[in-house]
Amino acid sequence: MSFDRLIERIVQTQNPSVVGLDPKLEYVPDFIIKKKVKKYGKTLKAASKAILEFNKCIIDEIHDICPAIKPQAAYYEMYGYEGVKTLYKTIQYAKEKGMFVMTDGKRNDIGATMEAYATAHLGLTDVCGEEISAFGADALTVNGYLGTDGIAPLLEKCKAYDKGIFVLVKTSNKSSGELQDLKIGKKTVYATMGELCEGWGEDYMGKYGYSCVGAVVGATYPEQLAEMRKALPHTFFLVPGYGAQGGGAEGVAKGFDENGLGAIVNSSRGVMCAYKKEECDEHDFAKAARREVIRMKEDIISYLPKISLD
Amino acid sequence: MSFDRLIERIVQTQNPSVVGLDPKLEYVPDFIIKKKVKKYGKTLKAASKAILEFNKCIIDEIHDICPAIKPQAAYYEMYGYEGVKTLYKTIQYAKEKGMFVMTDGKRNDIGATMEAYATAHLGLTDVCGEEISAFGADALTVNGYLGTDGIAPLLEKCKAYDKGIFVLVKTSNKSSGELQDLKIGKKTVYATMGELCEGWGEDYMGKYGYSCVGAVVGATYPEQLAEMRKALPHTFFLVPGYGAQGGGAEGVAKGFDENGLGAIVNSSRGVMCAYKKEECDEHDFAKAARREVIRMKEDIISYLPKISLD
């Protein structure tokens, strides 16, 4: 199952973090935007080409020290089908460089429709007998509100193509408790969803003790992260909310197991906009991103046991 | 708010149903596929061009008798960025013909990311001062699992651009009860979500008594449809699951108010594949779709009071 590949990349880089590529145009340095606008005008195409160049430069600088990227679909859809083409090209580029790619789409639907999403993002699309990869990510974030009918089609693709999913369990935002913290009997909604994840993953175990069904648990709720780590021993965590949203390294450490594994922490703006924070020359944006990836890695692993497969 | 425009279209056509354009390539007649494969090979582009032609022919035949279409994003993403281009062109074409377009994307995220989705599907994208419509639907289906942080950015767009959203409340699939039917105190998860919808819509009321926050409630659960109709007087319902999934017209009638309004019923495969069911010449597929739209409309309104604004 797919998280084995991710886990191996984490051990190899000794880095349990992922860079979120959520590139609003305002994050892209002016010199790139100007070049594309000159060529394509003030269009969605120009924006999409600028974002692709930005992403590629960052991937070039981080692929050897960071195991994965997490492009957020929303920021590509915002630039229309040209933006979605940039999403595709970003995924392909990162994979060519050996990175593990998690598309953050939080997709959800049922039956044949969920199968279409699973095919789109993790599988192969049939066109008159030709099998073609439409987006080709290694993992996809999904929303489990619809129950097993929304998850089963994904599990088939995970098995067939060595992929994984991350189901929203406890999200990092302030109002996540409105539904997720409510009690179903003695158990919260998020704990109930977490338990469903363990069940969905049961027959899809990888060789390092984690199934192909992961969970999203926010860095902004360290107590719940600790609670879920204990309750869901076979569920790999994607932990958003570090940095810009307020989650700290000491808190996110609670999402890890005794081998320093079991979780991967995301940072998006912190890395993409490192050059703005550093106030360095904007041409230096990708190197600034690399510096931030290293800083973040050191910060996180300082609270963890040595990352190892034993 | 946007459902006013939808309600007016429903009254004008006396038809409270929407055609789901969820076009797998296998639904498209061979003569269209062959033409595109001849030109573009067995590629995602050929598939996407075939689907666009299929959609346009159906829209040509139904736009005068059907108020709305509901393209399902998954089936377009399945064909990669070329498929997503077809989604965009389908939306534009239907709108030119005066139809109300609901993109079924079940999108969900938080804060700035949800704002990006809202911008993508309902708003305008800024490119260096130019404001461009990336997809331009009239409404979007969304998943409320993340709470208010995931809904608030949509409400701003609904207000600014006269749009609407449909939040998943009780979905039509068999396993929808795994989470949605569980009890939070005395109330189910779906009823809790429904109550959130009424709250979210409170300050966004249209002139016909419904807010811009609608709810998805499945035709396969008529009792819950009746329960929700009573509990959520200001929430307009999108009702999937009629026909292929097993929901009948007598059941879906429970989702409507005393003016024959308050809900719109979706059929996808039933309409798109009507020519297969009729076993007519495949060149006649769009006319067969029209016949099915009329049959469905008559079926549904036979259980409703006269549709009127008074």
DSSP B251-306: HHGGG--TTS-SEEEEESHHHHTHHHHHT--GGGHHHHHHHHHHHHHHHHHTTSPP
pLDDT band at B1 (very low <50, low <70, confident <90, very high): low
Q: What is the pLDDT of residues B207-225, one digit of tens each?
A: 999 999 999 999 999 999 9
pLDDT score, position A76: 98
Classify residue A295 by its DSSP letter: H
Contact call for residues A131 and B166 (beta carbons, < 8 A)? no
What's the whole-number average pLDDT of chain A?
95
For residue A147, which residues of chain B lie inside 8 Å, CB to CB? 173, 175-180
Q: How far is A300 from chain B (nearest CA, A)?
A: 24
Average pLDDT over residues A260-271: 96
Average pLDDT over residues A32-43: 98
Q: How many angstroms separate the Cα of B133 from the Cα of each of A81, B51, B120?
A: 11, 22, 7
CB nearest B134 (choices: A24, A44, A189):
A44
pLDDT score, position B146: 86
Average pLDDT over residues B166-194: 91
pLDDT score, position B247: 82
Lowest mean pLDDT among A92-106, A119-133, B84-98, B238-252: B238-252
pLDDT band at A269 (very low <50, low <70, confident <90, very high): very high
Choose among B63, B6, B1: nearest CA to B289: B63
pLDDT score, position A211: 97
Q: What is the pLDDT of residues B18-44, one digit of tens each?
A: 999 999 999 999 999 999 999 999 999
Average pLDDT over residues A98-113: 95
pLDDT score, position A1: 59
pLDDT score, position B164: 97
Tell me how far the alpha carbon of residue B76 is from its chain's centroid.
15
Position A218 pLDDT exceeds 90: yes
| Ordered alpha helix ranges (H), A41-163 | 44-62, 73-77, 80-96, 111-121, 148-161
B21 touches chain A (CB under 8 A): no
Higher pLDDT, A229 or A177: A229
What's the whole-number average pLDDT of chain B?
95
Q: Pairing state of beta strands B263-267 and A237-239?
A: unpaired
Position B245 pLDDT exceeds 80: no
Higher pLDDT, A1 or B307: B307
- C-alpha dihedral over A73, A74, A77, A78, to 10 degrees? -150
Beta carbons within 10 angstroms of residue B304's beta carbon: 19
Beta carbons within 10 angstroms of residue A9's beta carbon: 19
Average pLDDT over residues B170-194: 90
B106 tagged catalytic: yes
A174 touches chain B (CB under 8 A): yes
pLDDT score, position A100: 98
Q: What is the rounded CA–CA span in Å between residue B272 and residue B26?
A: 11
Q: What is the pLDDT of residues B279-305, one digit of tens each?
A: 999 999 999 999 999 999 999 999 999
pTM for the complete prediction?
A: 0.96
pLDDT score, position A43: 98
Q: What is the pLDDT of residues A299-309, one digit of tens each?
A: 999 999 999 99
Any idea what the Cα angle at residue A177 is, between residues A163 and A251, rounded to 5°? 65
Higher pLDDT, A247 or B13: B13
Give me the helix-helix angle, A189-201 and A148-161, nearest 10°: 40
Q: What is the rounded CA–CA span in Å between residue B5 and residue A210?
A: 50
**Chain B interface, best mutation among A31, A33, A126, A128, by max B CB count within 10 A:** A128
Q: How far is B132 from chain A (nearest CA, A)?
A: 8
pLDDT score, position B63: 98
pLDDT band at A109 (very low <50, low <70, confident <90, very high): very high
- Whether residues B180 and A147 touch (CB distance < 8 A) is answered with yes
Q: Which two three-digit tokens encode residue A24?
A: 């609003």
Name the residue with tokens 């933006």: A83
Position A58 pLDDT exceeds 80: yes
Higher pLDDT, A172 or B261: B261
Query: Which of B:192-211 have CB within 8 Å of A?
Result: 192-193, 196
Structural domains present in chain A: 2-301 (3.20.20.70)
Position B152 pLDDT exceeds 90: yes
Query: Which of A:45-104 have CB within 8 Å of B?
Result: 46-47, 72, 74-75, 77-81, 83-85, 87-88
**ipTM of predicted complex:** 0.95
Question: Of all residues in chain A, what percent carry a pLDDT higher than 70?
Answer: 99
Kindly give, in sequence order, each residue whose CB lies less than 8 Å from that of residue B225, ignoring residues fewer than 6 positions away: B170, B217, B218, B219, B237, B239, B251, B252, B254, B255
